[in-house]
Amino acid sequence: MCLLLGCTTIAFSQAYQQEIAAHREKYKNEFLEDDHSPLKQDDLAFLRFYAPDPTYIVHAKFTKVDDPKGFDMQTHNGVIKKYYTYGYVTFQLKKKHLKLFVYQSEKLKAKEGYEDYLFIPFTDETNYKETFGGGRYMDFRYKDIKNNTLKIDFNICYNPYCAFKEGYSCPIPPKENDMTLAIRAGEKLFGKEVAEK
């Protein structure tokens, strides 16, 4: 029985490693497909990530919030963007009880194909040391919320364009999404910036 359990765990780990590797390759290719991308082909080698770690997967309880007015979210270049608080998630990670708010962009809500787009920007204790100081992002869709539960995998959190080049209007995570622990998962500081210091 123990041997079978061990084999199952190893198989899951290998499949998960492959899943994250495929996700990261797709992420890199998207920079080359975007006309407004801050990165070129040669820059992709400097993208850095933590090793995939399934312990950073959580199944969070989702609570819907009624926010008809919305609010102004600050961005790195000073442009103000309007967002709505769609809800919040609560979960336990590394023995801590945590809460993150889920937002919806007014602009994207009106854009075909993005009407159901949701967004969690956050900061944590790795910022300015191991990860971008301006925080990292995670994207979701309405369909990702099932039975008031949202599966969150911090291994796929990513840097905003502002982590690579100035001038972009990347949303600054609100204080309410400042996490009081180190999230050592997902994307790290851009390697080119580190190499030049």
Per-residue pLDDT of the chain (197 residues; tens, 9 = 90+): 444 444 456 656 889 999 999 999 999 999 999 999 999 999 999 999 999 999 999 999 999 999 999 999 999 999 999 999 999 999 999 999 999 999 999 999 999 999 999 999 999 999 999 999 999 999 999 999 999 999 999 999 999 999 999 999 999 999 999 999 999 999 999 997 554 54
If you count them, how many residues does the chain have? Answer: 197
Beta strands in 40-196 (DSSP E): 57-64, 71-73, 81-93, 96-105, 117-122, 136-141, 145-146, 149-153
Output the six-digit token pair for 54: 């399934």
Report the Cα 13 to chain-centroid distance in Å: 21
> Is the distance from CB of 163 to CB of 126 less than 8 angstroms?
no
Compute the chain's Rg from CA coordinates: 18
Query: What distance in Å separates the CA atoms of residue 77 and residue 46, rounded to the nearest whole number?
Result: 24
